Structures are given as C-alpha cells and as structure tokens.
C-alpha cells in the first residue's frame, strides 16, 4: 500500500482537523460537516496528482490546446452516514464521477466491547476496471473498510483503489495495509496512535456521524 499521511505536514489541513477535534467548535454541526468536506477537497486534489491521465484537445475562442487531464472513469463510494460530508467534498472535485453508497455499522455483542461489522445496504454502478475512491472519515480498526470492500467486489474488480480518510489510528492503517491490494493508495489527513477498548480513536474527535447529523438511537 502507498500511504500518503499528512499528519506532520504544515498546511491548512491542520486548521480543519483542529476544528474537527475541538469540543467547542464541533458543536456547530454545519461547520463540522463543512470541515470534513474541505478535507475531502484537499485529499481529492492531492490524489489527482497520481491518477491516470490522458491527453485531450480543448478548443478555445482563439485556437486549440492539448492538455493532460485525469481519467473520468471514477467511482466515489462512501460509507453511510458519516461518510456523506467527505463524499461531497470529493465529489466537488471529481464532479464527473459515478457514485456508490454502502451502509455499514458496528453491532456490539451484548453492548460489550466486541463487535461485528454489519453491511446491509449497497447502491453502486459496476466497478469493473474503474478507479474506486473509497471514502470514510474515520479509519479506526480498518475492519469496516475491509468488509465494505469485500461487498463491493460483487460489482466488479476496480483497476485502481484509493482510500480517503480524515482521521485514522495506527492500527487501522496497518490493518488496511495488510488487507488491501499492494498498489492501493491511502490518503489520510491525520493519524492517532491509540484505540480505546471499544475500538474508537484516542484522542480522535468523537463519533463523526453523530457530530455531523445528530445522535442516534
């Protein structure tokens, strides 16, 4: 796996991540969603530098110009519901992409620390031979990402895979590195070292889905 970790780089990403973590600022759910969206935009720009490209001729009012443009055979897949703001940020830049959505959640056994990943909804075009951008803001254990990918393979084998996350754990990064194809790219804005007993990132930022859209039953 090719890992693009922006944790130690000084850029505007740090400002957005700081606000996402801040318990006072994150009370503003609209700003929380927008900050995740902006992270998605930056990761999209960075990833576009390594995507396959082709030469196209553009006609201007005064002539023609040959330009190098990224391929358009892209599918963005987000994991509901927390993935929606990140999906929108990626779609803002890859605005000609197809879209896929998968519902996945943790089923904690007897409300204990142990859990299983349940995938119970999928809407996707064919992925055969395409570039898959698999987006989820939190890469905690990595198991959700792997389970979703396994389900997506029912719709074809992508030619290229790019995972995009706002925040991850060292364990989660290691897990996807071990379970995805070697040429997969991981684009991640920040990585924390620890998970707690329930598999949540520490210090992290909390539950991204709840902070974006409100608490759930």
pLDDT, tens digit (0-9, with 9 covering 90-100), for 123-153: 999 999 999 999 999 999 999 999 899 999 9
Tell me the torsion sign for CA atoms 23, 29, 31, 33: positive
Answer whether residue 65 is part of any domain: no
Cβ neighbours of residue 120 closer than 8 Å, sequence gap 6 or more: 103, 104
pLDDT confidence of residue 191: 97
Q: What is the DSSP letter of 139?
A: E
- Quick check: 62 pLDDT over 90? yes
* Mean pLDDT score, 22-32: 96
Answer whether residue 60 is part of any domain: no
CA 80, chain centre distance (Å)? 11
pLDDT confidence of residue 121: 84
205: tokens are 């930022």
- Quick check: 112 pLDDT over 70? no
> Measuring CA to CA, which residue among 214, 210, 208 is closest to residue 37?
208
Answer whether residue 142 is part of any domain: yes
The Cα 84–Cα 86 span in angstroms is: 5
The percentage of residues in the chain with a pLDDT greater than 90, rounded to a whole number, is 80
- Buried/exposed 94-110: b ≥16 CB within 10 Å, e otherwise: beebbbbbbebbbeeee
Number of domains in the chain: 1
Answer whether residue 193 is part of any domain: yes
Answer whether residue 109 is part of any domain: yes
Answer whether residue 62 is part of any domain: no
Range of the domain at 86: 2-50+70-213
**Residue scoring higher pLDDT (210 or 217):** 210
Neighbours of 37 (CB within 10 A): 20
Q: What is the pLDDT of residues 157-191, one digit of tens each?
A: 999 999 999 999 999 999 999 999 999 999 999 99
Answer whether residue 55 is part of any domain: no
Answer whether residue 129 is part of any domain: yes
* Mean pLDDT score, 42-59: 94
Tell me the CATH number at 78.
3.40.50.2020
The percentage of residues in the chain with a pLDDT greater than 70, rounded to a whole number, is 94
What pTM did the predictor assign?
Answer: 0.90
């Amino acid at each position: 796996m090719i890992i693009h970790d922006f944790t130690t780089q000084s850029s505007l990403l740090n400002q957005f991540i700081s606000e996402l973590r801040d318990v006072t600022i994150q009370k503003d759910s609209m700003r929380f969603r927008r900050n995740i969206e902006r992270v998605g935009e930056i990761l999209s720009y960075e990833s576009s530098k390594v995507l396959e490209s082709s030469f196209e001729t553009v006609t201007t009012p005064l002539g023609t110009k040959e330009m190098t443009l990224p391929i358009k055979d892209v599918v963005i897949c987000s994991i509901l519901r927390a993935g929606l703001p990140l999906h929108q940020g990626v779609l803002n830049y890859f605005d000609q992409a197809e879209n896929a959505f998968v519902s996945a959640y943790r089923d904690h056994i007897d409300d204990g620390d142990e859990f299983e990943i349940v995938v119970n909804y999928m809407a996707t075009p064919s992925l055969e031979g395409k570039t898959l951008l698999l987006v989820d803001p939190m890469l905690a254990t990595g198991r959700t990402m792997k389970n979703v990918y396994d389900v997506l393979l029912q719709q074809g084998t992508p030619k290229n895979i790019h995972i995009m996350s706002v925040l991850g754990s060292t364990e989660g990064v290691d897990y996807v590195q071990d379970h995805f194809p070697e040429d997969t790219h991981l684009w991640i804005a920040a990585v924390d070292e620890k998970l707690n007993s329930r598999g949540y990132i520490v210090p992290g930022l909390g539950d991204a889905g709840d902070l974006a859209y409100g608490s759930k039953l």
